[in-house]
Amino acid sequence: MRFGHRLAEAMDRVGPLCVGIDPHVELLRMWGLEDTPEGLAAFGETVVMASVDTAAAVKPNIAFFERHGARGIAALEYVLGQAREHDLITIMDAKRGDIGSTMAGYADAFLRPGAPLECDALTLSPYLGFGSLEPALSLAAENGKGVFVLALTSNPEGASVQHARTADGESVAGVMVREAAQRNVGAQPMGDVGLVVGATVGSAMSDLGIDLGGLNGPILAPGMGAQGAGPAEVTATFGNASSLVLVNQSRGVLSAGPFAEKLRGAIQAAAGAAQYALRA
């Protein structure tokens, strides 16, 4: 089954929530874990187990594992393996972006079946041009995997690039939306090429003339919960594309750890809140 189909089924079954696996130092300390590869593995395994049948997906942030070198990457492999064992969708937050053989190498690391860091979907940065992502897009399509392309992020610095206009007057973010939508034409129930769009971008969608309604692919949306976006902001940002939105939460639920049952309850509550916000 292709990524878009799997994700749509998971969102229908347990709600539109993706739980970040972000084992930063402060959170590890809060959980009573050491900042070691073993601590990362324990953290990630707990999040995975609490997310099974309560979240549509989990999203490990590779940066927190990479900083521990080879042993940190081994911990990430372990966490990914645990998620696969429980048929839990994984989105690798790596934001890879390059050209040619280098982009192909990144794609092979994450989107090839049997790769040590195999995941179900990968975040990509398109700011060397959307076409530079072709090796990853092709390998994902070949293997039924997904990608999430950075389109309109909520960090203040992003606007200087994403809001810029091309010679034809189209915003850079608009180009990313249009290119992604072309990859999803005809897919049912939705395509495999998604976007990352912050829930806190305010009026940027209308200001830039962007309509997500034709994307026909998933939208990974950070910014709800701890970052402040509520139903009004969600409606303003996503409009008639709200059924495509997969809400990402990290701090808002991870602070409920380290006990798996309490964390599971927080995830269930966040999934319900996300469902309400998107349907309000």
- For 107, other C-beta atoms within 10 Å of its C-beta total 27
**Residues in the chain where the model's pLDDT stays below 70:** 225-232, 280
Q: Does residue 58 contact residue 87 with C-beta atoms inside 8 Å?
A: no
State both tokens at 124. Answer: 């990509």
**CA 225 to CA 223: how far, in whole Å?**
7
With beta carbons less than 8 A apart as the criterion, state whether 118 and 144 touch: no
Per-residue tokens: 63: 């940066």
The pTM assigned to this predicted structure is 0.96
Closest CA to 110 of 78, 140, 144: 140
Give the domain ranges of the chain. 3-279
Q: Which of 133, 215, 211 is nearest to 171 (CA)?
A: 211
Annotated active-site residue 95? The verdict is yes
- What pLDDT, on a 0 to 100 scale, did the predictor assign at position 105? 98
State the catalytic residue, choosing from 59, 95, 145, 262.
Answer: 95
Residues whose CB is less than 8 angstroms from the CB of residue 62 and which lie 6 or more positions away in sequence, other chains included = 76, 92, 93, 94
Identify the architecture of domain 3-279 in CATH.
Alpha-Beta Barrel (3.20)
CA distance 50 to 127: 35
Return d(Cα 84, Cα 79) in angstroms, integer.
Answer: 9
**pLDDT value of position 231:** 64
